[in-house]
Homo-oligomer: A and B are copies of this chain.
Amino acid sequence: MLKGPILQTLPLKAKLFRGFGDPSRLAILEALRAGPMTVGELVRATALTQPNTSNHLACLRECGLVRTRRRGRFIEYRLSDARVDQILDLAGALLAETAEGLEACPRYADPERETAAREGVS
């Protein structure tokens, strides 16, 4: 049996990872790696609707992955910590080696996958 502090933080840690665990939120995070952006800029960058973007941003903020700063009537979002970057990098590296397996994973559907553009050779 797992014991002690580890057990207590598991649900929190899971929440943290769920912050990363959605394509829309990942799109936002990846966009923010280039630097701080306003909500409007993020909407344009990710092609998500404004309420949807706002919702995901609220989630990311509450989970501590991004930070906000008011700038006039805009609100600027930025990654909250260098570790967010590092985690994204590590995941990217991991993915580079296990992409095949992941694609085969039937457990999580891949709603709008366009079977195209997978290989350069016709």
Q: Closest Cβ of chain B: how far from A105's Cβ, in Å?
A: 4
Contact of A91 among B1, B87, B105, B107 (CB under 8 A): B87
Interface residue SS majority, chain A: helix
**Chain A, 92-122, contact with B by CB distance < 8 Å: what is the 0/1 string?**
1111011101111111101001000100000
Q: Closest Cβ of chain B: how far from A19's Cβ, in Å?
A: 8
User: In the complex the two chains form, what is the Cα distance from A59 to B15 in whole Å?
Assistant: 18
Given A11-B23, A62-B101, is A90 in contact with B91 using a C-beta cutoff of 8 Å?
no
User: In the complex the two chains form, what is the Cα distance from A99 to B102 in whole Å?
Assistant: 30
Could you say how many copies of this chain the assembly holds? 2
User: In the complex the two chains form, what is the Cα distance from A80 to B84 in whole Å?
Assistant: 22
Task: List 8 other contacts, CB 8 Å, given A15-B105, A64-B94.
Answer: A6-B30, A13-B26, A13-B91, A15-B110, A16-B91, A64-B98, A87-B90, A87-B94
A-side interface residues toward B, CB under 8 Å? 1-2, 6-18, 20-23, 25-27, 30-31, 44-47, 58-59, 61-64, 80-81, 83-84, 86-88, 90-95, 97-99, 101-108, 110, 113, 117
